[in-house]
Amino acid sequence: MDASVRNFLYRNPQFYELVYPEPNDETPMMCRRMFSRYLARPPSSILDLGCGTACDLASLPRECPDCWGVDYLPEMIAFARARRPHLHLQPGDARSVRLGRTFDVILSMGSAFMYALTNADVGRTLDTFAAHSHAGTLLILDINNAASYLGGEHFQPTSELRISSPGFSAEAHSSHSFDRRRQLLVRRRTWHIDGQGEAEDFCEYRMFFPAELEHLLSGRGFRVAGMFDNKELQETELSGPRLYVPAIFQPAVGEATD
């Protein structure tokens, strides 16, 4: 993630899950469906790169006690450690972090991979995925689907968000645009927060097309096992706004793995 990213929720992680609630564990349930479909046995280790507040990772120790989370922002990790001490959490940059071990599953959820803005950053992040994989490791990506956004019905030039809870009440106005040359979605957001005034966000996200993503992953030894625009993993024409991508690590013959 570039240091120039400004996001009120990243600076105030105590509000993040109020703005993006997931009361029924939809994302972890989708991960469990992928575990069942693409792994021969339940995973014994999971790494979540870009774990944020670790809300997705928090319910997975029921199946896998060895769960690690890494996030670029120390504020997110501090909040997650206080709230979810049963997880192994640490700050780190997905472009460069090395934990000295491999995992059965690697997660990159909530558009985390989209913070790799340049081709060099994409390559470094893919190298991190590969460095923590052994033969058969399942990588799960959750990102925006550029094929549906660029000129499609899911692109909204503006959007409004209203949050009202005992601990946090706010309105947010967002505007979206594209930097097509750099293949980036640009979001500018203004928060009007009860009792706190205004806050300004600025975020850029790298957009990936399905075939492009498959090519990038295959170049680092990952075989894409499917692409879905829904968490039920049903086959569609990929017209939805999200891509959920399972990929299996298959190192080249003779390449050392754990």
Largest Cα–Cα separation, the chain: 61
DSSP string, 70-128: EES-HHHHHHHHHH-TTSEEEE--TTT---SS-EEEEEE-TTGGGG--SHHHHHHHHHH
Q: Residue 149 has what pLDDT? A: 77
Q: Residue 19 has what pLDDT? A: 79
90 torsion bin: left (phi>0), alpha (psi -120 to 50), beta (else): beta
Contacts of 218 (CB under 8 A, 6+ apart): 224
Cα 113-44-244 angle, rounded to 5 deg: 30
Contacts of 75 (CB under 8 A, 6+ apart): 10, 11, 13
Q: What is the mean pLDDT of each run of 10 residues along the chain (258 residues)?
A: 71 81 88 97 97 93 92 94 95 98 97 96 98 98 89 79 84 92 93 86 94 97 98 95 97 65
